[in-house]
Amino acid sequence: MQHIVKIGTRDSELALWQAKKVQALLAGSGVRSTLVHIKSEGDINLSQPLYEIGVQGIFTKALDLALLQKDIDVAVHSYKDVPTQMAIGIVKAAVLKRDSYKDLLIPKADTNTIKEVLGYSTGKWMATPNASTTENTAFTIATSSIRRKAQWLHRYPQHRIDNLRGNINSRLKKLDASNWQGAIFAAAGLDRIDLRPANAIEIDWMLPAPAQGAIVAVCRNDDQWIRKVLLALNDVSTDICTGIERDFLRALFGGCTTPISALAQIENDLLHFQGSITSVDGKEQVTIEKRVPCGEVQHIGQMAAAEILANGGERIIESIRNGERKA
């Protein structure tokens, strides 16, 4: 009798979509599987912003435990939620082809006033917002992401950021019932469950979280059979790019409380890397950009992180740590 693979997943609509994606790919390889629903700490505590909870692996710990206890064979995650240091005994087995890495602004109402204030016209963002339209406009934008908060405040320092937690469906409902001017979401999440509003605006100036838009399947290190099965699902290009982004994050000692962004893309045999770290209040930001031949990408994430630290990133990280200690 063929082994039925147990796939662990959170029970949100998005998490189930991702798990079913892996399930369908396994079925295409002739492997039968079933889904096992598991609640994570991040799903239970919806009152605090993620950056205040400050827990590494808040969406993955419960699934890690289920894996190690052999209650499941595979766990499926949004790769950006996975700590750069995985639990002992658990390994990355497959990274699926990446969907959109971009963030989206969902305006409360699709009005020309909002777009004018933000410096967005005819489908494009201005390189720098027009000060005459932004300085005296106190918008409120909602997000639970410290990275999005910091980058938004760097561009729009006069704006206010409110916390927005919950699954995608509940966050959209909260936005609709709020007095906010808009909220920020990951494009991939909305697209996967067909909830992208018609008035959504891609924030092309905002760098994503490392590995944003990618799905990862992990398993036990000693389960050689499932590791081999999952390897067939691995997208090499996505694996390389997200690996570099996570190397950058790890070298900066970053987690959910640190506004670190990274994006690696392969274009015409060149790897284009962009990275940044921003102070929580948005006042300081250090960025880096590199293009290297694909044959020379080893350690590029660590090298970029070292340059960031040397050029002011260390000061930003220390200020964040000091703020955490005072809190």
- Domain range list for the chain: 5-96+214-234, 103-202, 260-326
Q: How far from 59 is each of 20, 65, 224, 248, 299, CA to CA, in Å?
A: 18, 12, 25, 21, 28
Is 43 annotated as catalytic? no
The catalytic residue among 43, 73, 81, 103 is 81
- Tell me the three state secondary structure of residue 87: coil
The reported pTM is 0.91
pLDDT for 258 = 84
pLDDT at 166: 87
Question: Which CATH class name applies to 5-96+214-234?
Answer: alpha beta
Residue 249 clears pLDDT 80, i.e. is over it: yes
**pLDDT tens-place string over residues 254-274:** 655 689 999 999 999 999 999
Do the domains 5-96+214-234 and 260-326 sit in the same CATH topology, yes or no?
Answer: no
pLDDT tens-digit map of 143-163: 989 999 999 999 999 999 999
Distance, in Å, from the CA atom of 260 to the CA atom of 248, rounded to the nearest integer, reads: 9
Interhelix angle 13-28/168-176, rounded to 10 degrees, is 150
pLDDT digit string (tens) for 105-122? 999 876 777 888 899 988
In this structure, how many other beta carbons lie within 10 angstroms of the beta carbon of residue 236?
10
Q: What is the pLDDT of residues 285-325, one digit of tens each?
A: 999 999 999 999 999 999 999 999 999 999 999 988 887 66
Among 1.10.10, 2.60.40, 3.30.160, 3.90.320, what is the CATH number of 260-326?
3.30.160
pLDDT value, residue 116: 85
pLDDT of residue 39: 78
Look at strands 182-186 and 103-107 and give their pairing: antiparallel
The pLDDT of residue 21 is: 98
SS3 for 129? coil
Span between the terminal Cα atoms of the chain, in Å: 56
Q: Minimal CA–CA distance to 142: which of 89, 181, 115, 177?
A: 181
